[in-house]
Structure 1
């Protein structure tokens, strides 16, 4: 079963090309026949087989239209009220249009959107010719998602004047000169404008189908061919290519990173910062120029079949060198950054040092295809964690912390197998289908791979499979759960290949991710909506209003069924008062932890400010106060970025500066993980001399 999560999106970086201020209209996009057929087939499946079927009628049509419009203009800065009135006049006909395989309505809305982008960015660039008065006391709304649509062109122009002024002020406060500010912002707005000329019908269809499917429930989704391929890669943790992480920068596909052991790194022919300006297939295929081509398209050209040749026309990072054509043989690339990894933290515990093994798991991956084929060495999260646990055993650690922060889930089977590594044989999770039938999913591992002290670190981004694992550890009394309340996704999805349903001989329709069941803990409660409540709470940086199941307007409610038959593997609840007491005493004297608490509170306060001042002196006073607060600290390397706001956005810094910032974040002290490890050390101390977990 393949599980994917709606809140994890796919970003398409789009390369710019040069346009003057006077530009023509963007191309009018129209639906393809296969897209209309795919929408109709999806509707048939959704109305028949969804866990909570929602009829495709006029009421749902209006919701789909509203959601589609919101996906295009979430801050209500592009469309006028007159546009919205026109769009909504046909909103109740979406259901009939899908059945009749006519997608003109959403495509016409998108075409207006693309034109509005061109208009607004052209206007924003024109504003850069003037000077702004930053002594005026005025403010700009940061969040306009609940504000009315602008009623007139002058009202919309005023919104954009303030936005441009706000962008200018950020750069000015960062010390940029006027000429540099004009150049930076002109380039920024030009890049946004030019995206309107690179959109394709697939982009429109993907957005529309996303609005339709998530109107049924938050985690139902549609995958086009590219999205489906990326999902498969994220589950297998592998692909066939050259082993280079690519990024769009100034219209060029640029090498950001080389994967160790990949063809690009082993060849010595490609370096970080090199720009790919052409791609050819095979030893003699024509090299096609790709300057200004969308990044996702270039990536697809470079990927291919194992042992095949791809030729790249490369402009070296060193501008003094001329471009050259290189040949690389594609190979299987392992994405180790997303694999489970371990570390050992030394924790001072009442005068003694305890060694706590930390296993970080970014996703519950599993190579479904290799497993189906009977490959005994197929890659999976639980298999990798089992190996790491064996290593930690040999290294004589006192306890193990599983870090699942921002792990959005993945394979259900892997969540079950991972639980078995810590509790052994027994039920892990229950599923209830649309007909009310309940099945108990169990692990059959005869004995746990790790019977010592355990902790699980979660946050708001820990979802689905992560919640199944954390909930089972908690229900079995096997370990202590630490962190923030989790996401609250308690539903099961399966992915249906629409081409298989339609008996298409070639890929044409894509895939539908469909909610088919609901998860329940072995204690009978569900993780749906409420998530997993940690035994010991730690501060977090997420916004529960925008991240988590409760943020969706159509989330399923919390529910409860009968508990499964299971035997507790420990009694961690008896230790919680002492663990909490030790935690409270420790963090009171931990300056780094208290700094994190302060920063989290400051971030929350900033989020709740829906407006920002455009007065230079007011903003400067805010920055001065922040600088003074940070200067008063003796230590600042405590897990949050401390660099000042340079006013720049993604891809506007140099590549070396971007990489340096990324490395600084990686090397920053992780105060939450350190404290979670200390809690596991406390657990180990309290368990010494008592019955070990797994015995009663």
Structure 2
């Protein structure tokens, strides 16, 4: 994956104020563009301990070899210069003789060559900044018919400085054009771009040995599997604080990918989740404070510096400039406004509603339980508090109330649920089955443990549906897979993420005794999940019984899109008894769904939008002619406006100029098409069972 830093952090305040909209420099840090960064013995020892932990505990016993060394070499170059925009071909050729020696370097704790590569990268950044400042002094000719390809991953390295200058001329012309399309003139665009790259330059100049070690060691770890990461001491501290204190901020987890800050996940119950304006894989390119604060360009910034701008007190406003993932490389920057808030457990907890509708001449009343995560109050459980909160307890209470309303069926909504407590996934499954296995876990020693429903009773026996999407992962997949394997309910929606691995965190300070320095932490993959039928959820995820169109294909988003993801495999099935054989009814439900949606205008609008976004993401070359790009922008905006108006008319929603009274994309029982159609599918299921 294209990452400069691999740490995921919750956007929380911890009592800190939002920083001034200037680059946050380390305290007493003096910038020296010629400073050579050299590793010391501490990092050598830390690297060796990491290798020892991998050898002992990692699920995948990956031997260090020349073939792995070659992959590490390429990953490290990607981590520094993922788009081949700084190094020259001669630079790569200089280090090519070491391609098959990185396995030896890792064993020995030898960091000389990796640090030499970074120091050369730093030099090349210095040179690029000078070119950028000189190039932006004169306005580009936006009347020519040149084109630009932003993705250079499969291109060769520039053979000399002249070729690299031409690559950058087109890049800067494209970036200036993107800014101009937001309503600014060239002078302002040039000023913004110079500031952007000067900020990036300052970031690189601030790097210390710990930062370089972090980039390098994570490049190695990502070749083992995508969920094994090294957290530097600073990032470890931030992570621990985020886990211990109440959440206060926008409610998002971020990661760094190349020059961009990318949304890794949305925290249930937070401002981002409630707004429905910020989603997974969106890029944050600017941050502003309050209603009218200056928008600060954060492309190229360090992740922790961007976080400093986003953090702030509850009740304060932060404005973000974002690029939507679904719109691809030519996404039009858009501004959103969020009010920072404290994220309470109650807001992350399961919630229920009842939807009433007529279907095939009958009235149906369905209960819906939205489950954002699999949570539990570990501390309350440990202290045996009688009223401690947990997913299973909350869902059980909600079902009791829904039973009193005499619901005809139940939908469990797992869309966007990235997982959580394994134990809660097992216990929740137990509410819908009488007894039996729920999941199998195989560790690095090839020992298989079968986790079973601890409760010998069944709490809800009625018709059941589970809604999933591409962001349903881990514990969500365990629950939905068990429901599917038992034939206990219908899985509806999109194919799930496919994360079937288990991680543990190791504090390296426990193994490296040093009173003066603190070591980092290692998150390490130690086991894999398997369904009760023996199939792993890894890579493949859970395939719905009735499938909805997805915004993302497997090669774009999900575990299968990660090159180093552990493979899918299977083990022996466990002994379990199915509740229903749904093989005959599922084709009927799928056919009814297809017949119903064939002429459904709302459904077709959704499909059109998905197809347009997919097509936009496939586009890899863009015009640098201003009039052409203006026309493309106007056409895209006109299509979106027309689609929103048609959708609003269908739903009876009023849209005012530049302000939506009710967002037609906001999920609720009235506007949420997937929820409405899932209800109709369960109604078909009830009719089929009765018939």
Which interval holds the TM-score relative to the shorter structure? Answer: 0.7 to 0.9
Provide the C-alpha distance between the structure 2 equivalents of 1:167 and 1:141, rounded to a whole number of angstroms.
12
Query: What aligned pairs does 1:76-475 form with structure 2 within 5 A after superposition?
Result: 76-228=84-236, 239-240=245-246, 243-245=248-250, 273=290, 294=305, 334=344, 338-352=348-362, 354-368=364-378, 371-372=381-382, 378-475=388-485
Provide the C-alpha distance between the structure 2 equivalents of 1:315 and 1:625, rounded to a whole number of angstroms.
36
Does structure 1 conserve the Cα–Cα contact (< 8 Å) formed by 2:665 and 2:671?
A: no
Offset, 1:140: 0.7
Match of 1:635 in 2: 646
2:121 is paired with a residue of what secondary structure? helix
The verdict on how the C-alpha distance between 1:217 and 1:666 changes in structure 2, with shifts beyond 3 A counting, is: same
> How big is each residue's C-alpha offset from its partner over 1:228-250, in whole Å with a ceiling of 9 and x where there is no partner?
4565677x6x6157x445999xx
Moved more, 145-154 or 622-631: 622-631
1:485 partnered with 2:495: yes
Does structure 2 conserve the Cα–Cα contact (< 8 Å) formed by 1:424 and 1:444?
A: no
Match of 1:309 in 2: none
Offset, 1:434: 3.3
Provide the C-alpha distance between the structure 2 equivalents of 1:401 and 1:7, rounded to a whole number of angstroms.
36
Offset, 1:672: 9.4
Match of 1:576 in 2: 586
1:90 is paired with a residue of what secondary structure? helix
1:142 is paired with a residue of what secondary structure? coil
Does structure 2 conserve the Cα–Cα contact (< 8 Å) formed by 1:420 and 1:444?
A: yes
Offset, 1:226: 4.8
The verdict on how the C-alpha distance between 1:677 and 1:666 changes in structure 2, with shifts beyond 3 A counting, is: closer
Match of 1:289 in 2: none
The verdict on how the C-alpha distance between 1:617 and 1:506 changes in structure 2, with shifts beyond 3 A counting, is: same
Provide the C-alpha distance between the structure 1 equivalents of 2:660 and 2:72, rounded to a whole number of angstroms.
40
Provide the C-alpha distance between the structure 1 equivalents of 2:141 and 2:177, rounded to a whole number of angstroms.
10
Provide the C-alpha distance between the structure 2 equivalents of 1:428 and 1:153, rounded to a whole number of angstroms.
60
Provide the C-alpha distance between the structure 2 equivalents of 1:417 and 1:540, rounded to a whole number of angstroms.
29
1:532 partnered with 2:530: no
TM-score normalized by structure 2?
A: 0.75
Provide the C-alpha distance between the structure 1 equivalents of 2:22 and 2:491, rounded to a whole number of angstroms.
47
Provide the C-alpha distance between the structure 1 equivalents of 2:112 and 2:548, rounded to a whole number of angstroms.
50
Q: 1:606 aligns with which of 616, 619, 622?
A: 616
Q: 1:62 aligns with which of 55, 62, 70?
A: 70
Offset, 1:161: 1.1
Provide the C-alpha distance between the structure 1 equivalents of 2:686 and 2:541, rounded to a whole number of angstroms.
28
Structure 1 unpaired stretches of 5+:
1-5, 249-256, 262-270, 277-291, 303-311, 318-330, 640-656
The verdict on how the C-alpha distance between 1:96 and 1:561 changes in structure 2, with shifts beyond 3 A counting, is: closer
How many residue pairs are counted as aligned between the two chains?
Answer: 605
The verdict on how the C-alpha distance between 1:92 and 1:510 changes in structure 2, with shifts beyond 3 A counting, is: same
> How big is each residue's C-alpha offset from its partner over 1:177-199, in whole Å with a ceiling of 9 and x where there is no partner?
33443343344333333322444
Match of 1:646 in 2: none
> How big is each residue's C-alpha offset from its partner over 1:385-419, in whole Å with a ceiling of 9 and x where there is no partner?
33443444445544333333343333322222222
The verdict on how the C-alpha distance between 1:133 and 1:272 changes in structure 2, with shifts beyond 3 A counting, is: closer
The verdict on how the C-alpha distance between 1:424 and 1:76 changes in structure 2, with shifts beyond 3 A counting, is: farther
Provide the C-alpha distance between the structure 2 equivalents of 1:579 and 1:542, rounded to a whole number of angstroms.
24
Provide the C-alpha distance between the structure 2 equivalents of 1:671 and 1:604, rounded to a whole number of angstroms.
26
RMSD: 4.3
Q: 1:514 aligns with which of 516, 524, 539?
A: 524
Does structure 2 conserve the Cα–Cα contact (< 8 Å) formed by 1:481 and 1:534?
A: yes
Moved more, 406-415 or 41-50: 406-415
Offset, 1:536: 1.2
1:530 is paired with a residue of what secondary structure? coil
Does structure 2 conserve the Cα–Cα contact (< 8 Å) formed by 1:453 and 1:683?
A: yes
The verdict on how the C-alpha distance between 1:182 and 1:490 changes in structure 2, with shifts beyond 3 A counting, is: same
Does structure 2 conserve the Cα–Cα contact (< 8 Å) formed by 1:358 and 1:403?
A: yes
The verdict on how the C-alpha distance between 1:477 and 1:614 changes in structure 2, with shifts beyond 3 A counting, is: same
2:630 is paired with a residue of what secondary structure? helix
The verdict on how the C-alpha distance between 1:114 and 1:380 changes in structure 2, with shifts beyond 3 A counting, is: farther
TM-score normalized by structure 1?
A: 0.75
Query: What aligned pairs does 1:640-655 form with structure 2 within 5 A after superposition?
Result: none
1:39 is paired with a residue of what secondary structure? helix
Structure 2 unpaired stretches of 5+:
12-17, 26-30, 255-266, 272-287, 294-302, 319-340, 651-657
Match of 1:557 in 2: 567
